[in-house]
Amino acid sequence: MTENIQVQALQPVEGVAVTPESVTSPARQAWRRFRRHHMALFGIFLLALILGLVVFAPRVTPYEPNALDLKSRLQPPSREHWMGTDELGRDVFTRILYGGRISLLIGVAAMSVSVTVGTVIGALSGYFGGRVDSLIMRIVDVVISFPSLFLLIMIASFAGSSIPTIILVIGLLSWMRVSRLVRASFLTIKEREYVAASIALGANGWQLVLRHLLPNSLGPISVAATIDVSAAILTESALSYLGLGIQPPQATWGNMLRFAQDQMSTAPWTAIFPGLMIFLVSIAINFIGDGLRDAFDPRQR
């Protein structure tokens, strides 16, 4: 009798289709959905290409980023200088590659700060709920109500323009969106049956957070992380353009745009190429974020 029951249990239920996706892990299902997003794959290829050029800049270009050559100042793009030269005769292509190191470093590091802070605060708010949730959300509302660019300019003007300072300033003023996403995810997942079953089996708070709540919140966190990288790069570019970012002779895409504004009519390439790099990195990261959103969207399963 027992054997008959076991055999019947293994038979497929009538009307329910069994597909390869239904028996694979959630991570593999997400990867399969991500691979179907062609623009996300293009974004990965474009970002990997830019990162490769930036990392291996000394092997890609023979020039030094701060080497002056006043005889070659403001030359248009040519075989010797692929993206022309600036007002001091420095190779624009070389400065873009070396400046990309700083811009991308600030973007990734500021994203790490904002995602870490936002995840911790959002997890506390969503897990405890009640008065703790209300207090934390009121604090978040107050912080969001301040104009972020004004705060960035004010803090950067007092704290200085070193790379660690800019990373902390951008990261600590951009965690609010992540905290709200994590809080909403925690509040939703807490009501699921498997969480109630874990509590009934004796799981403590840390086990619930690390095994159920946080892993199932990685979808919105990863999407927010990609957006924060792009936003941090644009914010650093805005600060550098205003003269509050990384100072010369260190190149970043933002301060290259700042010093190129005087040559817009005579040497437009000094502004076009740094702006193009900011655009390409931002659009590539946004494509990846769109792919991650679709990959982790439960409605796509």
- φ, ψ for residue 84, nearest 5 deg: 80, -170
3-state secondary structure of 161: coil
Q: What is the pLDDT of residue 13?
A: 47
Q: Which amino acid is at 3?
A: E
* Cα–chain center distance at 123: 20
Sign of CA dihedral 37, 42, 48, 51: negative
In whole angstroms, what is the distance from residue 263 CA to residue 246 CA? 20
Beta bridge partners of 91: 85
Two tokens, residue 79: 């075989």
Q: How many CA atoms lie within 13 A of 151 on its CB side?
A: 13
Q: Are 51 and 35 in contact (CB under 8 A)?
A: no
In whole angstroms, what is the distance from residue 217 CA to residue 231 CA? 21
In whole angstroms, what is the distance from residue 160 CA to residue 165 CA? 7
- φ, ψ for residue 73, nearest 5 deg: -70, 140
- φ, ψ for residue 18, nearest 5 deg: -100, 115
In whole angstroms, what is the distance from residue 285 CA to residue 223 CA? 10
The CATH number that domain 101-301 falls under is 1.10.3720.10
pLDDT per residue rounded down to tens, the chain (301 residues): 444 444 444 444 455 454 544 446 666 777 788 888 889 899 999 999 999 999 999 899 999 988 888 888 888 898 888 898 988 889 999 999 999 999 899 989 999 999 999 999 998 988 888 888 889 989 888 888 877 777 777 877 777 778 888 888 888 888 888 899 889 888 888 877 777 777 777 777 677 777 778 877 887 888 888 888 888 888 888 887 777 778 878 888 888 888 888 888 888 998 899 889 989 998 998 888 888 877 776 555 5
Residue with tokens 């301060």: 255
Beta bridge partners of 85: 91
3-state secondary structure of 104: helix
- φ, ψ for residue 51, nearest 5 deg: -60, -40
Q: What is the pLDDT of residue 25?
A: 65
In whole angstroms, what is the distance from residue 13 CA to residue 16 CA? 6
3-state secondary structure of 89: coil
Q: What is the pLDDT of residue 69?
A: 83
Q: What is the pLDDT of residue 148?
A: 74
Task: From residue 118, give the alpha-carbon distance in Å to each of 140, 153, 167, 182, 263.
Answer: 10, 22, 15, 8, 41
Q: What is the pLDDT of residue 297?
A: 64
Residue with tokens 């470093």: 105
List CB contacts of 36: < 8 A, sequence separation 6 or more: none
| Other Cβ atoms closer than 10 A to 173 | 19
Q: Taking the model in full, what pTM does it have?
A: 0.79
- Largest Cα span, the chain: 95
DSSP 141: H
